[in-house]
């Protein structure tokens, strides 16, 4: 990591840490309130899961645009940077209009998406949630534009700070909307969207002041540009294919389960999916600053620097990914019981499968960023064809025997195969053997991993009596946090590269 960006990384991770704590609070405070009514929570989960599609509404042009905007930023060419951002935002805007229309129509007939809406309350809840989703869809445009502007400057912490304020308000609001004898899930969702709008306006003001950013110039560039389209289309269409693949693989679980089994099963699956989404959001934020940095190396035509940076990220972040995932997986039973109670006991095995999906994230995230930065299109097509194919073929072959578990099992299988493919690409790019990579990446983790397995196996027999309560939940969370902390201490003790890197960071902060 370049010294000039170390402080940016630290600021980003500082606010990521705050965000992570708030996400934990959200899971442990908000979810128990929402899940107290499994039928309406299932309806809420299905409706909200459709909002994930908004992240993919740009047909890949936001991802492609951010790559080239980062390269222009590294060359200090703000004029071209703004043109790319304006064009990418315009493409996103066109497709967001289609989502507004789609969500509005579904709000009139929610039974087209959700089966089992037998009572009036469930029907009205689904209709209202979808209508609010339609009206708040344009907020995605502001979110993505601000993320591009800050992201290419490695200043994501600006967005994170205002998001932190929003999260605190949203978490606090559950005590009003879900107080005793009062369950207002529609009002809560509307309130969260209003808070999101206000925080976006604050972020826009901060960005304008900090970077002297010319929003008028962005508006002038908010149109179709043939030159930029020609430059970005190849990578954008590849990103579009990745988007379609990801939707087929990742975003249709709740919708398919809702149609096949019903809202109650969606709620059971949603517990594990919440843990997966939480870990995915953490790792996405964790690796997101490196996206811009990889593109900076490309813009500077610095292949040697890119290669060194890539292997450093992969090796240093392996324990950051693996140790927490193994700990949470081993402690999933007590976690679920103390979090949402015995009526979600079926969620335990499903949650374990889903938690393990991100086990190879320390390879798949940076390698995916590398393939995008270096425009290795064929390899991106290969990986993103494997994911949905393995997932849905596996479900089709096993759902009659495994039921709900087949969705979680084959999500894990598809993830692991994709991760192994990324691992192969990594070895080829770095020109090292598997044995060398094992010694560099996995060998230092053997002792910490052994500690996690041994400690959890000793603790689990004493955790059989936990039940849904704040006390037991705090106890389980504290045990998980303590085990992870001890594992990291062991990792620091046995890993010389980690100790050296920590000393470098401390030195750079002091100067």
Instruction: Characterise 341 by phi-psi region: left (phi > 0), alpha (psi -120 to 50), beta (else).
Output: left
Average pLDDT over residues 203-221: 91
Query: Going by C-beta distance under 8 Å and a sequence separation of 6 or more, which residues neighbour residue 488?
Result: 319, 323, 448
Distance CA 61, CA 243 (A): 11
Q: Is a pLDDT exceeding 60 seen at residue 456?
A: yes
CB neighbours of residue 205 within 10 Å: 11
Q: Whole-model pTM above 0.85?
A: no
Q: Is a pLDDT exceeding 50 seen at residue 2?
A: no
Query: Going by C-beta distance under 8 Å and a sequence separation of 6 or more, which residues neighbour residue 242?
Result: 60, 380, 384
Closest CA to 302 of 377, 374, 380, 375: 374
Helices first, then strands: H and E counts in the chain: 23, 0
Share of the chain above pLDDT 70, in %: 90
Distance CA 179, CA 129 (A): 20
Q: Domain residues of the chain, as ranges? A: 1-15+33-228, 252-511
Spatial contact of 140 and 95, defined as CB atoms under 8 Å apart: no
Instruction: Kindly state the DSSP code that residue 438 receives in the 8-state scheme.
Output: I
Structure tokens belonging to residue 385: 């064809």
Q: What is the mean pLDDT of the chain?
A: 84
Average pLDDT over residues 440-468: 88
Output the CA–CA distances (angstroms, integers) from residue 122 to 13, 31, 50, 114, 488, in the order listed.
40, 18, 17, 10, 46
In degrees, to the nearest 5, what angle opens at C-alpha 170 toward C-alphas 165 and 171? 100
Distance CA 18, CA 11 (A): 11
pLDDT at position 53 is: 65
Query: Going by C-beta distance under 8 Å and a sequence separation of 6 or more, which residues neighbour residue 376?
Result: 370
Residue, of 58 and 419, whose pLDDT is higher: 419
Long-range interactions of 115-119: CB distance < 8 A, separation 24+: 115/258, 115/259, 115/262, 116/258, 116/262, 116/263, 117/43
Using the structure block, give the residue that is written with the tokens 């899940």. 35
Query: Going by C-beta distance under 8 Å and a sequence separation of 6 or more, which residues neighbour residue 28?
Result: 339, 473, 477
Distance CA 366, CA 311 (A): 9
pLDDT at position 194 is: 92
**Picking from 93-97, 106-110, 120-124, 438-442, which range would have the lowest pLDDT averaged per residue?**
120-124
Average pLDDT over residues 108-122: 73
Average pLDDT over residues 196-225: 91
Q: Is a pLDDT exceeding 60 seen at residue 394?
A: yes
pLDDT at position 507 is: 62
Structure tokens belonging to residue 472: 């037991």
pLDDT at position 118 is: 67
204 pLDDT tier (thresholds 50, 70, 90): very high
**Picking from 9-23, 183-197, 455-469, which range would have the lowest pLDDT averaged per residue?**
9-23
DSSP 198-243: HHHHHHHHHHHHHH---HHHHHHT-S--HHHHHHHHHHHHHHHHHH
Element (H, E) at 259: helix 253-260
Instruction: Kindly state the DSSP code that residue 115 receives in the 8-state scheme.
Output: S
pLDDT at position 91 is: 87
Residue, of 405 and 500, whose pLDDT is higher: 405
Instruction: Kindly state the DSSP code that residue 119 receives in the 8-state scheme.
Output: S
**Picking from 207-211, 341-345, 490-494, 499-503, which range would have the lowest pLDDT averaged per residue?**
499-503
E-assigned strand segments in 62-195: none
Q: Is a pLDDT exceeding 70 seen at residue 430?
A: yes
pLDDT at position 28 is: 67
Q: Is a pLDDT exceeding 80 seen at residue 192?
A: yes
Residue, of 469 and 197, whose pLDDT is higher: 197
Q: Is a pLDDT exceeding 80 seen at residue 326?
A: yes
């Amino acid at each position: 990591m370049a010294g000039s960006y170390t402080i940016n990384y630290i600021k980003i991770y500082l606010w990521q840490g705050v965000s992570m704590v708030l996400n934990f609070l959200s899971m442990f405070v908000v979810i128990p309130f929402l899940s107290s009514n499994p039928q309406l929570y299932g309806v809420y989960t299905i409706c909200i899961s459709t909002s994930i599609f908004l992240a993919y509404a740009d047909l890949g042009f936001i991802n492609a645009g951010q790559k080239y905007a980062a390269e222009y930023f590294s060359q200090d060419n703000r004029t071209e940077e703004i043109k790319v951002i304006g064009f990418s935002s315009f493409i996103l805007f066109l497709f967001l209009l289609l989502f507004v229309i789609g969500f509005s129509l579904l709000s009139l007939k929610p039974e087209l998406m959700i089966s089992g809406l037998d009572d009036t309350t469930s029907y009205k809840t689904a209709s209202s949630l979808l209508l609010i989703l339609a009206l708040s869809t344009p907020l995605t445009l502001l979110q993505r534009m601000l993320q591009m502007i800050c992201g290419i400057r490695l200043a994501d912490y600006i967005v994170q700070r205002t998001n932190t304020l929003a999260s605190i308000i949203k978490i606090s609001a559950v005590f009003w909307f879900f107080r005793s004898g009062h369950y207002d899930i529609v009002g809560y969702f509307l309130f969260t969207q209003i808070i999101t709008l206000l925080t976006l306006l604050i972020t826009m003001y901060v960005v304008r002041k900090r970077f002297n950013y010319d929003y008028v110039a962005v508006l002038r560039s908010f149109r179709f540009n043939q030159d930029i389209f020609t430059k970005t289309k190849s990578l954008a269409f590849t990103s579009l294919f990745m988007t379609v693949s990801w939707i087929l693989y990742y975003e249709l679980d709740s919708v398919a389960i809702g149609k096949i089994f019903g809202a109650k099963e969606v709620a059971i699956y949603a517990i594990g999916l919440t843990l997966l989404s939480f870990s995915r959001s953490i790792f996405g934020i964790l690796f997101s600053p490196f996206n811009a940095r990889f593109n900076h190396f490309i813009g500077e035509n610095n292949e040697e620097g890119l290669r060194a940076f890539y292997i450093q990220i992969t090796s240093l972040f392996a324990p950051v990914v693996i140790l927490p995932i193994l700990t949470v997986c081993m402690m999933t039973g007590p976690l679920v019981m103390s979090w949402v109670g015995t009526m979600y006991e079926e969620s335990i095995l499903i949650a374990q499968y889903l938690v393990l999906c991100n086990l190879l994230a320390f390879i798949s995230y940076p390698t995916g960023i590398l393939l995008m930065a270096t425009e290795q299109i064929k390899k991106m097509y290969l990986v993103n064809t494997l994911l949905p194919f393995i997932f849905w073929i596996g479900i089709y072959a096993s759902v009659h025997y495994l039921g709900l578990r087949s969705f979680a099992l084959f999500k894990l299988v598809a993830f692991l195969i994709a991760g192994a493919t990324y691992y192969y690409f990594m070895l080829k790019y770095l020109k090292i053997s598997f044995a060398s990579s094992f010694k560099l990446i996995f060998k230092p983790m053997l002792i910490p991993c052994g500690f996690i397995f041994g400690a959890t196996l000793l603790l689990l027999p004493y955790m059989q009596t936990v039940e849904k309560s704040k006390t037991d939940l705090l106890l389980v969370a504290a045990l998980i946090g303590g085990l992870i902390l001890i594992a990291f201490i062991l990792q620091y003790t046995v890993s010389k590269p980690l100790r050296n890197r920590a000393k470098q960071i401390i030195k750079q902060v002091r100067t």
